[in-house]
Amino acid sequence: MEELVLGSGHPHGWLRTAVDRYSGSARILDSKILGPDMVEHLFEINVKPEQMKPLLSDIARDRDVMGMEIVQSKSGRIQGAISTARCTICKEVAASRCFLGSVEIERGKASWTILGDQSACKGLLDSLERRGIPFRLDLKRSLDDRELLTARQEEVLYMAYERGYFDFPKKIGVRGLAAATGVKTSTLTEILRRGQKKIVAGYFGDRHLQHPHSDV
Say what the pLDDT of residue 213 is.
47
163-167 — which CB contacts under 8 Å span 24+ positions? Answer: 165/192, 166/75, 166/77, 167/75
Determine the length of the chain.
Answer: 216
Please count the other Cβ atoms lying within 10 Å of the Cβ belonging to residue 215: 11
Q: Which pLDDT score, from 0 to 100, does residue 54 have?
A: 93
With a CB cutoff of 8 Å and minimum separation 6, the contacts of 102 are: 27, 28, 29, 112, 113, 193, 197
Q: Block means of pLDDT (10 residues each) for the chain, length 216 residues?
A: 84 80 82 79 88 91 88 84 80 84 78 88 94 91 60 74 81 85 79 75 57 47
pLDDT score of 92: 86
Sign of CA dihedral 140, 144, 146, 147: positive
**Helix (H, G, I), strand (E, B), or coil: what is residue 7?**
strand
Task: Provide the 8-state DSSP code for 76.
Answer: S
Decide: helix, strand or coil at residue 160. helix
What is the predicted pLDDT for the residue at 102? 76
